[in-house]
């Protein structure tokens, strides 16, 4: 039986009986680890094993490990990776060093993840921040230069792949112009189509990525009534059409305030709207069982093109990592970042 079209956030270091029973019944396509679920390497490894045993499915276990501010794995148990804007700064000094560093930094992330049973990472960010926008993207972006972003993002994505970890480009079709944080409000971008075209360029250049995440943003030039996540116009015309993305499309978190303000109804209705608009999988990240149950009610079993896309992502995630000397990798990485 194919899994359910949902990825569920886990915010506890061990499974309790109620959550275990729900996962066995719901069979979500993927699980997502948050900071509260990550205590030690051994504990995360055991949790990943338990999650897959509970679902009865070799689920991809994702995490948000971008580096910088967005890092679920933190010291002292785990190393610190720089915000990806540091690769952009390095690119201005030494382009070759920056490309190698972006690849190697993400290869080192993949090395940590894969060893614990985590085989998906919600990165790289392809958003192009503009002056005056909300700082939620900020140094999570490689650069403000649209021509540099895909060069470094491609290197980062290939670094994950070398370590047997699937990536996910985000946030389509671009979060860099948002005047507010979609975790807290519903951003409305009033830029012209010509201006928005600049933001599409990085996504067009990496349209062959295996997975992407939508933005909970209203782009008035394309669809003044609905955020991209719930807009058939934006998904069909811009994401699938203009960008040419053919991979697995995931919503951003259904719990975010942007969707609460954008539409009536609860998590079930938000899940239904995103899937109906053209998302393949929705994310529900609170870690609260009743929220998981509500989101699951709005989902369906993966089938047709969505199932094909999901299987393609699994192929990236389930590949074994290549040989890698992490100590030598860290030494080289630190040298590159000081170039």
Mean model confidence pLDDT for the chain: 96
Confidence of residue 175 (pLDDT cuts 50, 70, 90): very high
pLDDT for residue 113 = 98
Active-site annotation holds for 327: no
For 9-15, what is the mean pLDDT? 98
Q: Which two tokens stand for residue 92?
A: 């201005």
pLDDT for residue 32 = 98
* Active-site choice (58, 183, 225, 325): 183
pLDDT at 63 over 80: yes
* Active-site choice (252, 255, 280, 291): 252
pLDDT > 90: percent of the chain: 94
Q: How far apart are CA 328 and CA 149, in angstroms?
A: 27
Confidence of residue 188 (pLDDT cuts 50, 70, 90): very high
Confidence of residue 77 (pLDDT cuts 50, 70, 90): very high
Q: Which two tokens stand for residue 305?
A: 């093109």
pLDDT for residue 262 = 85
For residue 250, give the CATH number of its domain: 3.20.20.300
Q: How far apart are CA 88 and CA 86, in angstroms?
A: 5
The pLDDT tens digits of the residues spanning 295-309 come to 999 999 999 999 999
pTM of the model as a whole: 0.97
For 86-112, what is the mean pLDDT? 98
Q: How far apart are CA 51 and CA 23, in angstroms?
A: 8
DSSP string of 111-145, one letter each residue: HHHHHHT--EE---B-----TTS-TTSGGGSS-S-
Confidence of residue 181 (pLDDT cuts 50, 70, 90): confident
pLDDT for residue 264 = 82
Active-site annotation holds for 145: no
Domains contained in the chain, number: 1
Confidence of residue 116 (pLDDT cuts 50, 70, 90): very high
pLDDT for residue 261 = 81
The pLDDT tens digits of the residues spanning 213-265 come to 999 999 999 999 999 999 999 999 999 999 999 999 999 999 988 898 888 88
Give the up-direction half-sphere exposure of residue 71: CA atoms within 13 A in the CB hemisphere.
19
Q: Is the peptide bond before 171 cis (omega within 30 degrees of 0)?
A: yes
161 contacts 316 by C-beta, under 8 angstroms: yes
For 199-214, what is the mean pLDDT? 98
Q: Which stretch of 9-13, 59-63, 179-183, 261-265 has the lowest confidence by average pLDDT?
A: 261-265
293 contacts 68 by C-beta, under 8 angstroms: no
pLDDT for residue 339 = 86
Q: Which residues, listed in sequence order, are joined to residue 65 by a DSSP beta bridge? A: 71
pLDDT at 106 over 80: yes
By residue range, what is the domain housing residue 162? 4-337
pLDDT at 84 over 80: yes
């Amino acid at each position: 039986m194919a899994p359910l079209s949902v990825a569920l956030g886990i915010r506890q270091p061990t499974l309790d009986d109620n959550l275990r029973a729900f996962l066995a019944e719901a069979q979500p396509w993927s699980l997502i680890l948050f900071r509260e679920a990550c205590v030690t390497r051994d504990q995360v490894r055991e949790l990943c094993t338990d999650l897959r045993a509970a679902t009865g499915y070799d689920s991809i276990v994702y995490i948000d490990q971008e580096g910088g501010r967005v890092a679920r794995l933190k010291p002292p148990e785990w190393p610190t990776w720089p915000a990806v804007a540091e690769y952009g700064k390095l690119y201005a000094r030494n382009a070759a060093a920056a490309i190698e560093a972006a690849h190697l930094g993400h290869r080192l992330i993949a090395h940590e993840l894969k060893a614990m049973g985590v085989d998906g990472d919600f990165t790289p960010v392809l958003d192009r921040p503009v002056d005056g926008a909300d700082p939620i993207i900020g140094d999570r972006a490689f650069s403000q230069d649209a021509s540099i972003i895909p060069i470094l993002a491609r290197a980062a994505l290939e670094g994950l792949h070398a370590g047997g970890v699937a990536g996910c480009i985000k946030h389509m079709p671009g979060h860099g112009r948002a005047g507010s944080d979609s975790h807290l409000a519903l951003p409305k971008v009033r830029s012209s189509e010509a201006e928005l075209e600049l933001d599409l360029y990085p996504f067009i250049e990496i349209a062959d990525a295996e997975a992407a995440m939508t933005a909970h943003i209203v782009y008035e030039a394309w669809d003044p009534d609905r955020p991209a996540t719930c807009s058939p116009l934006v998904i069909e015309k811009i994401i699938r059409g203009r960008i040419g993305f053919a991979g697995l499309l995931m919503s951003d978190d259904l719990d975010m305030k942007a969707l609460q303000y954008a539409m009536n109804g609860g998590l079930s209705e938000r899940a239904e709207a995103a899937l109906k608009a053209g998302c393949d999988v929705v994310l529900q990240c609170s870690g609260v069982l009743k929220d998981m149950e509500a989101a699951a009610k709005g989902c369906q079993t993966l089938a047709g093109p969505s199932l094909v896309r999901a299987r393609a992502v699994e192929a990236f995630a389930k590949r074994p990592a290549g040989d890698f000397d992490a100590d030598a990798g860290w030494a080289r990485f630190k040298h590159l970042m000081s170039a």
